[in-house]
Structure 1
Amino acid sequence: MKVRKLFWFLIVVLIIFLFPFAALLVWFAPADWDLTASPNRVGVVEVDGMIKDARPTLESLVSFRRDPNVRAIVVRIESPGGGVGASQEIYREVRRTDKEKPVVASLGGVAASGGYYVASGARYIIANPGTLTGSIGVVAHLPNLASLFEKVGYRTVTIKSGRFKDVGNPGREMTDEERALLQETMDAMHAQFIRDVARGRGLDEEHVRRMADGRILSGEAALTWKLVDELGNFQDAVAKAAELGGIPGEPHVVYAEKKRPSLLEWILGKSGLEGIRETLDPALSPLRYQLILSP
């Protein structure tokens, strides 16, 4: 009798202690642990805001590419662009992923410059009629504070190992030689942009070059220029991805996991933090694939 009571006592203790542990395990379990998953999923990767760090987007693309339950991917873009290198990294991963699973780009309110660069790597692009897109070009902002420094009595002493090492020094005027060097670099990056858009869209480079002067296009105009394939919204993009992925019936949409917002983002808000990063982050300065609407 005592043995039976001890047995049931142990069972109760195990239930009391194991139940919370099991509940936490289920709560924090990643999507990969979903044992009921079936291969009818469309993965959604969001490119939101300034493109500065490509790694989270790359990781999401790789994760969905390796997931056997994800048959197609939608890259949802709400971005005016950003860093040259980061935009190129995501473009290449989109292209690599599309060779294994169809990738559809869904353009939101703004998907311009580096945002469009990313989209052009997808198999199919859907934009709203009023989407701001295009803006194929490179921009650099190099402040000249020489007059201000002179007024406040501020002086800089520059020690460098080569004559071009302090190009963009805000304490002095830029020389003609420096300007020519920067223009040559920007022209090379512009040519890369044109080449990759033409390659991704299956267009002739000359066709892309004719409108690759930094101009902003609406979704309707982009359709005329063959920069997008269809006018529609996010749901249309999901439906197209399901069609290309051979998913019968209603697809199950899953989103890539996002990192929790930092304390600064909670305090300043996303837009405030973006502004600070844009000002201070050297990865975004000075050369960018970015749409700029303000003076």
Structure 2
Amino acid sequence: MRKHPIILGLCLLLLVGLFFLLLTALGGGLFGKRSLVWGEHVGVVTVEGIIRNSREITRQLDDFGKDNSVKAIVVRIDSPGGGVTPAQEIHDAILSVKKKKKVVASMGAIAASGGYLIACAADRIVASPGTMTGSISAIMHFANVEELLKKIGLKSSVVKSGRFKDIGSPTRPMTEDEKALIQSLVDDTYDQFLDVVAKDRRISKDDLRKIADGRLFTGRQARKLGLVDELGDLSYAVRLAGTLSGIKDEPDAVYPAKKKSTFWELILQQAVTTLAAEMQKVEGRPEGLNYLYQQ
């Protein structure tokens, strides 16, 4: 009996649709950044710019940790550091995923302060000879606009429940007790940084203190000091991660799939990005306690 051409066409169309759905599932999304490749891969997570939030990076690390086709992870760092807490959270997320898979840190132009803290969690650290790294230190910034307010005839009045409630106020000088309190916060945060580097890099805290005063090192200098393991670029780091994880052939590097956004979400994202960039120009420095190298 002859098959109806319409039914045959619908069946072929259904098969084609199922085929493309399979490709999408295996490849991580046709419109994502992740490549449509099969086999054993090395996942690449990128940390760029000032570290203000850890959510997206830790999510990507967790996703690669659960992906059976990803045998190792490279964390590409091009950052001067940033907030203490997000840097620590990314560091801890790397330690967690390292229980399942090998992790290699790859340093770009700069991987300093909080950027270096993140790298310490990896199994191996790879830097280019000219990478700027180090800056093992903690810092807080406070502005004082008291004289400016006097010139324009403005005064500030504060009602508070405790003497330290408006600590760091830009409308008055900081008292000696307030300076001592802030210094204790910075010192404790700095000590936490030393603990991490000493443990991860197997360097005594006494030896570490001699070089952990905020100074920068080139990648080559850092290697001599034991802060970095090897010299190489991102491609070298990917190959190293593949070797450590037992991948025999040249490993394919895959990237996290980008989240699909609606038209209005894209408009909102662009507006927020533009606003944040303008605010950063005005503010100059990030607020709060930071592991951050600044020129």
- Calculate the TM-score normalised by the size of structure 2: 0.86
Distance across 2 between alignment mates of 1:286 and 1:233: 33
Aligned to 2:252: 252
CA displacement at 1:194 relative to structure 2: 0.7
The residue aligned with 1:113 is 113
Give, as a single letter, the amino acid of the residue that structure 2 aligns with 1:9.
Answer: I
Residue 276 of structure 1: how far off its partner (Å): 2.4
1:189 offset after TM fit, Å? 0.2
Corresponding residue for residue 238 of structure 1:
238
Distance of 2:156 and 2:268 partners within structure 1: 32
Cα offset, 1:188, TM superposition: 0.1
Partner Cα separation in structure 2 for residue 147 and residue 281 of structure 1 = 20
Match of 1:67 in 2: 67
Superposition deviation, residue 156 in structure 1: 2.1
Q: Which amino acid aligns with 2:223?
A: L
The reply to whether residue 227 of structure 1 matches residue 227 of structure 2 is yes
Decide which moves more: 27-36 or 77-86. Answer: 27-36
Contact 1:76-1:107 within 8 A present in 2 as well: yes
SS in 2 for 1:212: coil
- Structure 2 SS opposite 1:109: strand
Task: Report the alpha carbon displacement of residue 37 of structure 1 after superposing the two structures with TM.
Answer: 3.5
Counterparts in 2 of 1:52 and 1:205: CA distance versus 1, 3 Å: same
Q: Is the 8 A contact 2:28 2:257 kept in 1?
A: no
Distance 2:211 2:266 in 1: 40
The Cα offsets for residues 60-103 of structure 1, whole Å up to 9 and x where unpaired, read as 11111111111111000000101000000011111122222110
Aligned length: 286
> Which ranges of 4 or more aligned residues in structure 1 deviate by more than 2 Å?
7-16, 18-38, 257-270, 272-282
Partner of 1:286: 288
Unmatched 5+ residue regions in structure 1? none
Question: Corresponding residue for 1:8?
Answer: 5
Note the C-alpha offset of 1:277. Answer: 4.8
Contact 1:41 1:70 in 2 (8 A): yes
For 1:66 and 1:281, the matched residues in 2 are separated by 38
Give the aligned partner of residue 209 of structure 2.
209
Contact 2:27–2:37 (CA<8 Å) still a contact in 1?
Answer: no
Deviation at 1:24, TM superposition (A): 7.8
Q: How far does residue 21 in structure 1 lie from its aligned partner after superposition?
A: 6.5
Match status 1:86 vs 2:89:
no
Give the AA of the match of 1:199: K
Structure 2 distance, partners of 1:50, 1:232, is 23
**Fraction of identical pairs, as percent:** 40
Contact 1:264 1:273 in 2 (8 A): no
**Residues 1:285 and 1:72: Cα distance change in structure 2 (over 3 Å):** same
Structure 2 portions without partners, runs of 5+: 30-34
- Asked if the contact 2:26–2:36 (Cα under 8 Å) also holds between the matched residues in 1, the reply is no
Which secondary structure state, in structure 1, belongs to the residue aligned with residue 52 of structure 2?
A: coil
Letter in 2 for 1:93: A
1:13-28 correspondence to structure 2 within 5 Å = 25=21
Match of 1:178 in 2: 178
SS of 2:208 mapped into structure 1: helix
CA gap of 1:179–1:262, structure 2 versus 1, over 3 A, is farther
Partners of 2:36 and 2:77 in 1: how far apart? 30
Deviation at 1:258, TM superposition (A): 3.8
Corresponding letter in the other structure for 1:138? A
